[in-house]
Structure 1
Amino acid sequence: RVCDFAAVQLGLRGLQDAQGGGNIVTTEYEHYANVSPWLELKSRGFVDEVRFARFNPETYELDVDHLASLVDSRTRIVSVTGASNLLGSITPLEEVGKIARERGSIFVVDGVHLMPHYPVDAQAIGCDFLVFSAYKLFCRFGSFMYGRREALEALEPYKVEPAPERVPWRWEHGNRDPALFAAIAAVADYYEWLGGRVGVEPKGFSGSGRRLKIKAAQTAIREYETRLSRRMVEGLSGLGDKLRVYGPQNVDVRVPTFSFTVKGTENKAVVERLWRDHNIFVREENFYSRAVKSLGVPGVIRASFAHYNTPQEAERLLGALRYLV
Structure 2
Amino acid sequence: MTLPIERVRAEFPALALTDHGSARTYLDNPAGTQVPRRVADAVAKCLLETNANLGGHFATTLAAGRVVEEAHQAMADFLGARSAREIVIGPNMTTLTFHLSRAIARDWQPGDEIIVTRMDHEGNVSPWLAIAEDKGLKVKFLPFDKESWQIEVRDLETLLSERTRLVALNYASNLTGSINDVKTLTALAHKAGALVYVDAVQFAPHRLVDVQALGCDFLACSAYKFFGPHMGIVWGREEILERLQAYKCRCSDNDLPQRFETGTPQIELLAGLTATVDYFDWLGGEVGATGSRRQRIAAAYQASVDHEEPLANRLIAGLLEIDGIRIAGITNANRANHRVPTVSFRHDRVAPVTIARALAAANIFVWDGHNYAYELVQHLGIPVDEGVLRIGMAHYNTATEVDQVLAAIKGAIGTRT
Q: Considering the TM-score relative to the shorter chain, is it more than 0.5? A: yes
Match of 1:211 among 260, 281, 294: 294
Check conservation: 2:109, 2:135, Cα contact below 8 A: no
Check conservation: 2:93, 2:231, Cα contact below 8 A: no
Distance in 1, Cα, partners of 2:280 & 2:176 = 26
Counterpart residue type for residue 305 of structure 2: R
Match of 2:141 among 52, 67, 87: 52
Match of 2:129 among 33, 39, 50: 39
Check conservation: 2:109, 2:136, Cα contact below 8 A: no
Check conservation: 1:131, 1:143, Cα contact below 8 A: yes
Distance in 1, Cα, partners of 2:278 & 2:95 = 28
Distance in 2, Cα, partners of 1:146 & 1:175 = 19
- Does residue 121 of structure 2 align to residue 21 of structure 1? no
Match of 2:253 among 139, 146, 164: 164
Deviations 1:170-211 (A, max 9, x none): 22212322111111111111111100011369xxxxxx3212
Check conservation: 1:131, 1:144, Cα contact below 8 A: yes
Distance in 1, Cα, partners of 2:215 & 2:243 = 16
Distance in 1, Cα, partners of 2:225 & 2:363 = 23
* C-alpha distance 145-105 of structure 1, shift in aligned 2 (>3 A): same
Check conservation: 1:53, 1:70, Cα contact below 8 A: yes
Counterpart residue type for residue 321 of structure 1: I
**Mapping of residues 280-291 of structure 1, within 5 Å:** 280-289=364-373, 290-291=375-376
SS at match of 1:140: coil
Query: What corresponds to 1:305 in structure 2?
Result: 393
Query: What corresponds to 1:66 in structure 2?
Result: 155
Match of 1:2 among 92, 97, 107: 92
Check conservation: 1:191, 1:214, Cα contact below 8 A: yes
SS at match of 2:196: strand
Q: CA deviation at 1:141?
A: 1.1
The structure with higher relative contact order (CA 8 Å, sep 6+) is 2
Distance in 2, Cα, partners of 1:134 & 1:294 = 29
Match of 2:341 among 256, 276, 283: 256
Indicate the structure (1 or 2) with the bigger Cα radius of gyration.
Answer: 2
Distance in 1, Cα, partners of 2:111 & 2:101 = 12
Query: What corresponds to 1:245 in structure 2?
Result: 327
Check conservation: 2:176, 2:328, Cα contact below 8 A: yes
Q: CA deviation at 1:102?
A: 0.8
Check conservation: 2:178, 2:338, Cα contact below 8 A: yes
CA RMSD of aligned residues (A): 1.8
Q: CA deviation at 1:283?
A: 1.7
- Does residue 266 of structure 2 align to residue 177 of structure 1? yes
Distance in 2, Cα, partners of 1:11 & 1:76 = 12
Distance in 2, Cα, partners of 1:270 & 1:122 = 39
Structure 1 ranges of 4+ moved more than 6 A: none
Q: CA deviation at 1:287?
A: 0.4
Structure 1 gaps, min length 5: 202-207
**Mapping of residues 118-197 of structure 1, within 5 Å:** 118-197=207-286
Structure 2 gaps, min length 5: 1-90
SS at match of 1:180: helix
Distance in 1, Cα, partners of 2:280 & 2:372 = 29
Of 19-28 and 79-88, the range deviating more from structure 2: 19-28
May I ask how many residue pairs the two structures share in their alignment?
316
Distance in 1, Cα, partners of 2:215 & 2:363 = 43
Counterpart residue type for residue 210 of structure 1: R
- Does residue 354 of structure 2 align to residue 269 of structure 1? yes
* C-alpha distance 272-73 of structure 1, shift in aligned 2 (>3 A): same
Deviations 1:290-313 (A, max 9, x none): 211111112111111100000111
Query: What corresponds to 2:185 in structure 1?
Result: 96
Query: What corresponds to 1:205 in structure 2?
Result: none
Query: What corresponds to 2:14 in structure 1?
Result: none
Check conservation: 2:92, 2:230, Cα contact below 8 A: no
Deviations 1:28-61 (A, max 9, x none): 01111111111111221241x1111111223322
Query: What corresponds to 1:204 in structure 2?
Result: none
